[in-house]
Chain A
């Protein structure tokens, strides 16, 4: 596959396995919510959502096959967003 064709077709099984993991993690989030752990619920939900989002990014969206440029772009967006979050909470917590 030459460098300027962008197709990264994985075996279908890879996508099915990714989907299976996503469904299992959804069940896990739901189960944790049913346990009613109060403060842990939101934290657990965000952590599991982050794992699920990463699975979609790396497997469905093929980021694991992309050149480093894409990781640098994600880093730039991540840092920008972290700055937004940081500034917002510094503002609210200092009131």
Chain B
């Protein structure tokens, strides 16, 4: 009697261990809540930009003219195209086209790498001219330009960090696809990877004109 009761109660507990906890809607809502914190993180920096643009209009325009707007334009095109290949990856996975999804992820990684190389060259060019926070050259310049470059390095640097993190997540998603942990019928991990990548793209969409095109 007690033995069979024990078996009966033990049985459902054991079965519960194997319950499928896959919850794409919950996972997606969780991802969006995280993305909102990212929006407010960058949002606060955009407010700082707006306040100082109003205060140091002339210096901000001068700083903006010193940036290479054609490299900025190139990187915008590169990142927008990477968002296209990311969207392809998710759509291909949903259709069960695993190889195409992997190929699209590889293309996204390539574009992400191109973006970082261009960004690094821009920063390197500025560094070689002594333009970096607290450098002697910088400290001799008007306060407004110091603020402009401070925001430029902080915001594009934080954005580039997000690109690097996004690329790491894409690599992990590709590995999970190869190990069949992400499958056409359960690919929320890949979808959330896409959401992250697209958000990083949106942030750049605002960074580009504000830093490069106000001169």
Contact = CB atoms under 8 A, between A and B. Distances in A.
B83 A19 contact: yes
20 contacts: A3-B25, A4-B25, A12-B88, A18-B84, A22-B80, A26-B80, A29-B208, A29-B213, A30-B73, A30-B213, A45-B213, A46-B209, A46-B210, A53-B205, A56-B202, A57-B202, A73-B33, A84-B47, A85-B47, A89-B50
Which secondary structure dominates chain A's binding surface? Answer: helix
A84 B28 CA distance: 26
Contacts of B43: 81, 84
Interface stretch (B90-98, B136-144, B151-159, B165-173): B90-98
Interface in A48-86: 48-49, 52-53, 56-57, 59-61, 69-70, 73, 77, 80-81, 84-85
The number of chain B residues touching the other chain, given as a range, is 35 or more
B213 A81 contact: no
A53 B208 CA distance: 12
Q: Which 8 A-B pairs have the closest CB atoms?
A: A45-B209, A33-B213, A9-B94, A7-B94, A6-B24, A9-B91, A19-B84, A15-B87
Interface stretch (B9-17, B111-119, B122-130, B184-192): B184-192
Contacts of A45: 209-210, 213-214
- Categorize the interface residue count of chain A: 35 or more
B161 interface: no
A19 B210 contact: no
A30 to B, nearest CB: 6
Interface of A: 3-10, 12, 15-16, 18-19, 22-23, 26, 29-30, 33, 41-42, 45-46, 48-49, 52-53, 56-57, 59-61, 69-70, 73, 77, 80-81, 84-85, 88-89, 92
B138 to A, nearest CB: 24
A15 B28 contact: no
B191 A7 contact: yes
A83 B88 CA distance: 37
A4 B90 CA distance: 17
A23 B205 contact: no
Contacts of B73: 26, 30
Nearest to A48: B209
B194 interface: yes
Contact of A6 (B84, B188, B198, B212): B188
A69 to B, nearest CB: 8
A4 B186 CA distance: 10
Contacts of A41: 213-214
B3 interface: no
Contacts of A92: 51, 54
Nearest to A85: B47
A81 B39 contact: yes
Given A7-B187, A56-B198, A42 B87 contact: no
A94 B137 CA distance: 34
